[in-house]
Amino acid sequence: MDKKLVEEWLPLSEINLHAAVEISFRIARNKYRSQFLDLYGTNPSVFNVGTPQPNNLHPWFARRPIALSRILNLAAVLPCNIDKDTFRRIVGFNYISNLATQKILPILLNVDPERGLLNDVFKKYEKNSSEITIVDPMAGGGSIPLEALRLGFRTVAMEYNPVAYLILKATLEYPAKYGVKLYEEVRAEAERLICWARGELGKYYPEDAMNYVIARGYRCRSCGGLIPIIHTTRLGKNGPYIKFSFDKDRKSFTVDISNVETEFERLRCPYCRSPVVKDIALREWVSRHKRLLRVALNGDFKSAKESVEELNQTHILLVKQTGRGFKATGKEDVEKFTEAYLDLARLSGELKEYIPSDPIARRENEVFKPITDLEVEYWYELFNPRQLLILSELIKYVRVRAEELIKEKGEFGATIALYLSFGVNKLANFNNITTTWDDSTKTIRELLDHYARTRKIGFGLEYCEAKRIDQALNWVFEPDVEEPTKTHGGICPVVKYLCSWLDGLGDRVRVFMADAMVLSKVLGGKSVDVINVDPPYFDQHTYSDISEFFWQILRITLSPAIDVGYLFSRGESSRAELFVSGWSPILSTVPRDNEVIERKTVKVSVKGRSALEILERMKTPHSRDWYVKNMWIFFREVYKSLKDDGVLIVWFTHSDPEAW
């Protein structure tokens, strides 16, 4: 068997540079300028700029760098004696110096590989790139299969998780199948949605409102004073600050903005100096928050009106960010917030089927345990009344529009609706009561940021609310952004890039929602040239638990596409794509049983390192030994699926030596 290039050589210096620049925040990229100059002899025209990236399409975790994905895919199929300059040209390195002179980030992401040259190379071996099959059976956000497809290989992407499956469809299959007309339709529909939201939902926000910082209101158990629960008065790295004026007689307060640092002791009553126990304060706050939502969702408008004072003492709008800086909230802000609450009560009957009202799987979902321990029971309880009203109206709009688009355009209409659904999810990630304020950047820390830092979702002391809905959706979609450097992570610029990269390759890609434990049954034996996979690492991510938040919105908005078999098909009306037994997209939970991860909460009674003891522990689902056993089963399936001269590439970047 001839050795492949990946076994002998890789351009490590360039790989590391391109990967580092790609995944860095734009303000941190300048530290790589000297490295770039050393490698390419050119100082980039721009470096601290945006660029459309696939990971901006929909929130996901553990995305892998584009540059490394492309290089590993290519090096796994080319022989070790390939001319290295030819390899570099196919990858796209030869275009980087020229790209550096333009107003665009000079990394491989922004360079198309030379598919024509690659086919010329394959002709020497009487092959074509379309005859090479590359599979990622745990594809996640899709970097590896995306770059396999950009190289022109036959590409198969599989995922056990329904959210990741939809991301893969949107990243790979649909741009390749529909090309630039997909971008044009998504952009037009995004503009239509923004226009509708401005007209129908803009009334719930003052014109100048951008982001809100909202305190959780708590009554002191000792003196009864109203306490705004927040973690700091700092709004920016060097100010300004929230300035409280507390009236100890009336047990109330006013808010102003100060450029001078202000005094504030968190979790202590400002009136009587009694300590505030965080867990007790949050539990009482959750109880009032739930009662307010229950009143509204029961459609009890009279009781909702009577609850307005409680509403504004539970969700205390402290400060709003405007185009001119920060302002203390005023009468109009409170009135608009109240109007949204009363309209939620008035419209609750119409919106009932669009509200994410299923229970959080308390026993199974460990990521959300800090919240369910506080007695949050249902997904809709993760939103304040205005956030929930806006979310439900957007879900309704997208689902109704999905039905219309499917009637007009069939599967293409369902495809367009998928990107609209992604936009709703992206907004929900930043517009819920688990968010916090990041004073270092003057921005909202989203739900996923909380997960990234703690691997759990809990409540901070304060929370935030996103800007006026039309502005928020403009940020989500960026339909008017034409220059790649002007993007701040919107969906439309990403779709535009994907469509330009993959147009015409629709016959070379398949996406499955499938269990990697039955890989050879899905693909067939000895059918694959390369399996390139980044598997889960022990307990590093609990994909099912965190993705369940996003699944609530996707399954409601996309139900018309699911019902007719355009998504999650078992073969009824199109080619079968769903190979996960015991699960259906009608469920509010995502599959967990065969998710190959370790859960640290799983306890095993059998100790020791003997073979019998290890085998006994392997019977306990999601224990460490169970994970090891299932990885062994997976690799056995990989072996069955690969051709005799096939190549397996495994990414494994776990920091724990025991993992290796």
Structurally, the chain folds into a number of domains equal to: 2
pLDDT of residue 117: 96
User: Which of residues 124, 157, 180 is at a domain's end?
Assistant: 124
Burial letters 100-137, b for 16+ CB under 10 A, else e:
beeebbbbbbbbebbbeebeebbeeeeeebeebbbbbb
User: pLDDT band at 299, cuts 50/70/90?
Assistant: very high
Q: Does residue 524 sit within a domain?
A: no
pLDDT of residue 585: 97
User: pLDDT band at 610, cuts 50/70/90?
Assistant: confident
Q: 50, 494 in Cβ contact below 8 A?
A: no
Q: 107 and 226: one domain? A: no
pLDDT in tens, 171-218: 999 999 999 999 999 999 999 999 999 999 999 999 998 999 999 999
pTM summary value: 0.96
Containing domain of residue 18, as a range? 1-48+78-124
pLDDT of residue 573: 56
Q: 88 and 231: one domain? A: no
pLDDT of residue 542: 87
Q: 116 and 213: one domain? A: no
Q: Which residues are 134's β-sheet partners?
A: 155, 530
pLDDT of residue 618: 73
Q: Does residue 66 sit within a domain?
A: no
pLDDT of residue 292: 99
Q: Does residue 409 sit within a domain?
A: no
**590 conformational bin, left if phi > 0, alpha if psi -120 to 50, beta if neither:** beta
Q: 543, 597 in Cβ contact below 8 A?
A: yes
d(CA 225, CA 217): 10
Q: 354 and 233: one domain? A: yes
pLDDT of residue 229: 97
Q: Does residue 312 sit within a domain?
A: yes
- The percentage of residues in the chain with a pLDDT greater than 90, rounded to a whole number, is 83
Average pLDDT, the chain: 94
Q: Does residue 340 sit within a domain?
A: yes
Which segment, 118-127, 319-328, 411-420, 612-621, is predicted with the most confidence on average?
411-420
pLDDT of residue 62: 73
User: Which of residues 124, 153, 183 is at a domain's end?
Assistant: 124
State the DSSP code for 591: P
**Taking the C-alpha atoms of 430, 65, 57 and 320 in order, what is their torsion angle to the nearest 10 degrees?**
20
User: Between 48 and 154, where is the model more confident?
Assistant: 154
Q: Does residue 314 sit within a domain?
A: yes
Q: 374, 419 in Cβ contact below 8 A?
A: no
pLDDT of residue 619: 72
Query: Where is average pLDDT lowest: 88-92, 125-129, 388-392?
Result: 125-129
Q: Does residue 114 sit within a domain?
A: yes
User: pLDDT band at 606, cuts 50/70/90?
Assistant: low
pLDDT of residue 561: 97
Q: Is the pLDDT of residue 365 over 70?
A: yes
User: Which of residues 94, 124, 154 is at a domain's end?
Assistant: 124
pLDDT in tens, 121-147: 999 887 899 999 999 999 999 999 999
DSSP string, 305-331: HHTHHHHHHHEEEEEEEETTEEEE--H
Query: Where is average pLDDT lowest: 404-413, 495-504, 574-583?
Result: 574-583
Q: 118 and 231: one domain? A: no
pLDDT in tens, 74-87: 999 999 999 999 99
Query: Where is average pLDDT lowest: 230-234, 307-311, 358-362, 481-485?
Result: 481-485
Q: Is the pLDDT of residue 293 over 60?
A: yes
pLDDT of residue 419: 99
Q: Which residues are 229's β-sheet partners?
A: 216
pLDDT in tens, 528-580: 999 999 988 877 788 999 999 999 999 999 999 999 999 999 876 568 899 99
Paired tokens of 22: 């790609």
Q: Does residue 61 sit within a domain?
A: no
pLDDT of residue 283: 98
User: Between 638 and 467, where is the model more confident?
Assistant: 638
Q: Which of 562, 484, 497, 421 is nearest to 175 (CA)?
A: 497
pLDDT of residue 574: 60
**Polymer length of the chain:** 660
Residues 466-488, mean pLDDT to the nearest whole number? 94
Residue 182 C-beta-side C-alpha neighbours within 13 Å: 33
d(CA 164, CA 554): 11
Residues 511-527, mean pLDDT to the nearest whole number? 95
Q: 118 and 264: one domain? A: no
Residues 329-347, mean pLDDT to the nearest whole number? 98
How far is the first Cα of the chain from the last one, in angstroms, to the nearest whole number?
27
pLDDT of residue 660: 59
pLDDT in tens, 20-49: 999 888 778 888 999 999 999 999 988 888
